[in-house]
Amino acid sequence: MKVLIATEKPFAPVAVEGIKKEIEAAGYELALLEKYTEKAQLLDAVKDADALIIRSDKVDGEVLDAAKQLKIVVRAGAGYDNVDLEAATAHKVVVMNTPGQNSNAVAELVFGLLVFAVRNFYNGKAGTELMGKRLGILAFGNVGRNVARIAKGFGMEVCAYDAYCPAEVIEAAGVKAAKSQDELFETCDIVSLHIPATAETKQSINKSLVSKMKKGGIVVNTARKEVINEDELIELMQERTDLKYVTDIMPDADAAFQQFDGRYFSTPKKMGAQTAEANINAGIAAARQIVGFLRDGVTKFQVNK
């Protein structure tokens, strides 16, 4: 059996070593395609792969057509919007993710971005502190929960809203539950986005929602660029010169956002999950899930059931 790691944005070498150990201990072979620049390279590499480990790499019908031996794809991470689930199911390929394995890394970056934002991107002028500010967490999944934990350490007031998580569960974690997404934006100084990119959430962070924020509001995005209505956010930030947007996923309209000097920042490449720890956790989990599936038929974490 051949397992291919195909990562346009590579794992830390120590994580690749860990994955290799797991795969070889099961008697399988590991192949590596890193930093590829053309889809053709991926199409070629998947030809004889029985299993595939990816990150944000796109797996569509064309990739699945080329991967004649493929039985399983594991997205080493949380969001699997980069995999065409319908096409995978049609090709009888199991798709899994590794939920929770990189969530602390992403949550820590939220605060890296926030301290940078409230200190005016380190321009030397007096900024503000996070202590005492009200943080709104949009979606209370693995990352949202880690964000809540760290926010308490900063002395922030923490509030969350999740359309799929009952208020009692949020309150049980010592976090105030907002009744709606609107209430979260209306009442919080900062809103941190942790929603997946789905048909329902795409473009949902729009002008009417963000305009509800108080003066000096900050939106921090370590989720997906697709959830933002970029044109409307630009329009709003032109009208509301008090708002800031900091993101770990460069918007398509990055050039236009650059007009907001001192109010906008994007990392050049998504790096929320880019820590050795997160790479090891997610990578090894992916390897174990592959072995569990190929050897014992375990389908825990399958997302295309």
Q: Using CB under 6 A, which of the segments 37-45, 72-80, 127-135, 157-165 binds ligand 3PG?
A: 72-80
145 makes contact with ligand 3PG (CB under 6 A): no
Q: Using CB under 6 A, which of the segments 107-115, 171-179, 227-235, 270-278 binds ligand 3PG?
A: 270-278
Q: Nearer to ligand 3PG by C-beta: 75 or 244? A: 75
Q: Nearer to ligand 3PG by C-beta: 30 or 78? A: 78
Reduced to 3 DSSP states, what percent helix, strand and coil does the chain have, rounded to the nearest 5?
Answer: 40, 20, 45
Q: Which amino acid is located at 273 in the chain? A: A
Residues 6+ apart with CB under 8 A from 86: 304
CA distance linking residue 83 with residue 74, whole number of Å:
10
55 makes contact with ligand 3PG (CB under 6 A): yes
Q: Nearer to ligand 3PG by C-beta: 197 or 291? A: 197
Please select the residue that binds ligand 3PG; options are 185, 270, 283, 293, rule is CB under 6 A: 270
Q: Nearer to ligand 3PG by C-beta: 104 or 236? A: 104
CA distance linking residue 82 with residue 266, whole number of Å:
21
Tokens read off for 35: 């930093």
104 makes contact with ligand 3PG (CB under 6 A): no
285 makes contact with ligand 3PG (CB under 6 A): no
Q: Which strands sit side by side in the sheet containing 176-177, from one edge to the other?
A: 176-177, 157-161, 134-138, 190-193, 218-221, 244-247, 264-266
194 makes contact with ligand 3PG (CB under 6 A): no
Q: How far is CA 179 from CA 36, 121, 269, in A?
A: 45, 33, 34
Residue ranges in contact with ligand 3PG by CB under 6 A? 9, 55-56, 77-79, 102, 270, 272-274
